[in-house]
Amino acid sequence: MNGSPGGAELTVSVSEFVDLVNQTYDYVFTGITIVGELANFRVSKNKWVYFDLKDDTSSVKFFGTVYMLPGPLEEGMLMQVKGTPHMHNLYGFSVNVQTMQPVGEGAIRRAAELLTAKLQAEGLFEESRKRALPYPPERIGLITSRQSAAYADFIKILGARWGGLNIDMIDVQVQGEAAPEQIVMAIERFNEMAEPPEVLVIIRGGGSADDLAAFSTENVTRAVAASRVPTLVAIGHEIDLSLAELAADRRASTPSNAAELLVPDKQTLLQRLAEDTERMYDAVHEYIFEGREQLERFVIDATKNTDRLLQNQRAQLDQSRQLLQVLSPQAALKRGYAVVRHDGKVVRTAADAPVGAIVHIEVNDDDITARITGTKKKEGKR
C-alpha cells in the first residue's frame, strides 16, 4: 500500500482495497436496517439466500442463509432487513443479512398467508393432533412480558378464580426483532426441564399487525407445534388470530380468557357444591320418607297376611281336632261300642278268645272282666 507524503492519494492492490472497504464498513456500520421491495429472490442449494431490495431509483444486493427467513416470501413484498455491508473479493458489494421480516400491513398479511398455506399442508393445524389440557393444572409454564398488561390480567384472573397454583414464568420480548428467538428459546427451555410444567401458556395483549408479527413467524409456530408440553396460546384481542394460536393445542381469545379456560371459578364451584349438597339432602330425605312409607305398608300387609294365615291354620286345626274326636275310640265307646281284650290283645274273632278264656271288656265308663262260656255264629256268616 503506497501513499503520498500528504496522504491525499492512496495506491493499493485490489485485495487491499477490498480489505480497506470492509474495515471502513465495519467501523462505520455495526449494523444497518434497510427497507425496500423484495426482488430477484432465490435460494441456492437449500442453504444460501440471495435477493435485492429496491425502491424507485436504487437497488441493493443481499446475502444470507435460509435459517434467517421469517417464512415463505414472494417478489414485491416490503421487507425490513438488518445487516452489515460487505465487499466480497470476487462477487462485489452486498449486505450480509442478520435479520429480516416483512413490514407494512399488506406485506405482513401476505407473508402470513404464504406461511399458513405451507404449515397447513404439513398438518400443523390439524385438530387430530391437538391434546387436552389438564383441568385445573397444578403447575403452569408462562411465557410473556412481565411488564405487560397481559401478564397482570392473566395472574389476576387466575388468582381470583382458583389460586394456589405453581407458575414458572420466563420473561421475553413479545414484539420486535428479538421476540421470536426469545419465545422459541423459552419454549425449548420449558420442554427440556426434567419435570416440565403440565401446560405451557403463551400470552400477549393487543396491538397492530406489526406488534403481533412475532407470533406468526415460522420458527415460533413450529416451536409451539413441536412442544411436548400441551400449549395454550392467547395473542391480542378476540379478532386477532396468530399462526402460533392455530398450532397450539388450545387457543384463547384473550389472556384473561386463557386464565378462565385453565381453571374453574371456585366461587361458582362452591355455590354449585352447596346446591348439589342440598339436592342430595332432599333426595336422601325423600328416599328415607318413601322407604319408611313402604316399610309401614309392608308391616301392615305382613300383619294382615300373618293374621290370615293364623286364622286359616286355626280353622284347619279345629277341623282336624273334630275329625280326631269323631274317629277316636272313646267316641265309639260313648256310642255303646266296647273293646274286648284277651291277654292284652284286642279280640277281633271268636278264635282270639276260646271258651273258658278270661277277657277284659272296655266300655265307656269302666272295664269289665268276664269268662267266655260259649260262642255263636252270626246269621249269614259261615
The CATH number assigned to the domain holding 67 equals 2.40.50.140
297/192 same-domain check: no
Describe the crossing of helices 218-226 and 179-191 by its angle, rounded to 10 degrees: 10
Closest-CA residue to 155 (of 206, 168, 208)? 168
CB neighbourhood size of 254 (10 A): 21
Q: How many domains would you assign to the chain?
A: 4
Query: Residue 188: how many CB atoms within 10 A of its CB?
Result: 12
Would you state the pLDDT for residue 44? 92
pLDDT at site 353: 81
When pLDDT is averaged across residues 100-123 and rounded to a whole number, the result is 85
> Rounded mean pLDDT of 56-68?
92
**Is 146's pLDDT higher than 90?**
yes
Residue type, 230: P
How would residue 382 be classed by pLDDT, with cut points 50, 70 and 90? low
Residue 151: is its pLDDT beyond 60?
yes
Residues 301 and 355 in one domain: no
Instruction: Give percent of the chain with pLDDT exceeding 90.
Output: 44
Q: Which three cell numbers stand for residue 105?
A: 400491513
pLDDT confidence of residue 380: 61
Question: C-alpha cell of 71?
Answer: 417464512
- What confidence category does residue 7 fall into, taking pLDDT thresholds of 50, 70 and 90? low
Ranges assigned E (strand) in 284-342: 339-342
- What is the residue range of 81's domain? 2-103
Q: Are residues 308 and 346 in the same domain?
A: no
Question: Of the candidates 20, 12, 31, which has an alpha carbon nearest to the alpha carbon of residue 87?
Answer: 20
Helix (H) or strand (E) holding 33: strand 32-44
pLDDT score recorded for residue 3: 54
User: Cα separation of 102 and 112, whole Å?
Assistant: 10
Express as a percent the part of the chain with pLDDT over 70: 96
| pLDDT given for residue 25 in this prediction | 84
Q: Assess whether pLDDT exceeds 60 at residue 183.
A: yes
| CA 92 to centroid of chain Cα atoms | 60
pLDDT at 41 over 80: yes
End-to-end CA, the chain? 179
CA distance 125 to 65: 27
State mean pLDDT over 156-164. 90
Residue 10 lies in a domain: yes
* Position with higher pLDDT, 224 vs 318: 224
Higher confidence at residue 62 or residue 75? Answer: 62
Asked if 147 and 242 sit in the same domain, the reply is yes
DSSP 157-178: HHHHHT---EEEEEE---SSTT
Are 192 and 232 contained in the same domain?
yes
How far lies 28's CA from each of 21, 23, 31, 88, in Å?
10, 9, 9, 17
Amino acid at 18: V
User: Which DSSP string do the residues of 90-152 spell out, in sequence order?
Assistant: TTEEEEEEEEEEE-SHHHHHHHHHHHHHHHHHTTTT-GGG--PPPSS-SEEEEEE-TTSHHHH
User: Per mean pLDDT, which of 218-222, 266-270, 276-280, 362-366 is the most reliable?
Assistant: 218-222
Residue appearing with cell numbers 492519494: 9
pLDDT (0 to 100) of residue 359: 82
Nearest Cα to Cα of residue 79 among 60, 97, 101, 109: 101
The Cα–Cα gap between 276 and 161 comes to: 20
Classify residue 214 by its DSSP letter.
Answer: G
Is 344 domain-assigned? yes
**Are 189 and 293 found together in one domain?**
no
The answer to whether 84 and 27 have CB atoms below 8 angstroms apart is no
Do 278 and 350 reside in the same domain of the chain? no
**Pair (154, 87) in one structural domain:** no
Place of cell 421480516: 101
Give per-residue pLDDT as tens, 189-214. 999 999 999 999 999 998 887 788 88
Please check the confidence at residue 281 and state whether its pLDDT lies above 60. yes
Q: Residue 140 — φ and ψ, nearest 5°?
A: -120, 135
Amino acid letter, residue 261: L
Single-letter residue type at 172: V
Say if 204 falls within a structural domain.
Answer: yes
Instruction: For residues 274 and 361, state if they share a domain.
Output: no
Is there a single domain that holds both residue 156 and residue 234?
Answer: yes
Same domain, 156 and 253: yes
Predicted confidence band at 6 (pLDDT cuts at 50, 70, 90)?
A: low
